[in-house]
Amino acid sequence: MPQRFENNKFLRVFLPIYLIVMVLLYSLYLFLEKYRLEQAKERLLQGNLKEQDMILMDQLGKWPMYVEGAFFFIFIVTAVYLMIKYRKNRRHVTFFLVVNGFLFGSIYLLSFGLSRVLAITVGNVYQPIIVPTQFLIFLFIYTLLLRRRERQDRFVRQFDH
């Protein structure tokens, strides 16, 4: 962690906890997705599906979606909170965005290997990061535009004095 963040307890304590929660949610998503696929294969091999099987498969399909939603929700809430809390000091927000960029990039790259190991399609493996990555890109652009505007305002204020 850069030295300028060392004295900030929120980022020093919160960021590792945030990353652990995100990795745990992603791992839970993979576990549920793998379990759902195994159950589907098992039920299909048995032959004719009963109504109970269909209900079970429907429920098993919803759980990965809930975890994916929680993954996105935690990311959004954290990003919005940091954007509000550190609106005067964008370095903290930028650091958070970069850390998430590495997290999502790592998940994306690992998804190719994980899809082979877990026998899950690669799209399903990186599904939880698709929407958060799009929002992350939006936040990067928004942060860059804010920084540019702040620099222009400082430049204009120099000549006003």
Q: Is the pTM of this model over 0.85?
A: no
Contact 114, 30 (CB under 8 A): yes
Instruction: Note whether 70 and 127 are within 8 A (CB).
Output: no
Positions of the chain with pLDDT under 70: 1-7, 10, 155-156, 160-161
Domain around 136: 2-160
Q: What is the pLDDT of residue 6?
A: 55
State whether residue 105 is helix, strand or coil: helix
Domains of the chain: total: 1
Burial 125-135 (b: 16+ CB within 10 A, else e): bbbbbeebbee
CA distances from 16 to 74, 90, 96, 128 (A): 14, 19, 11, 20
Token pair, residue 128, equals 């939880």
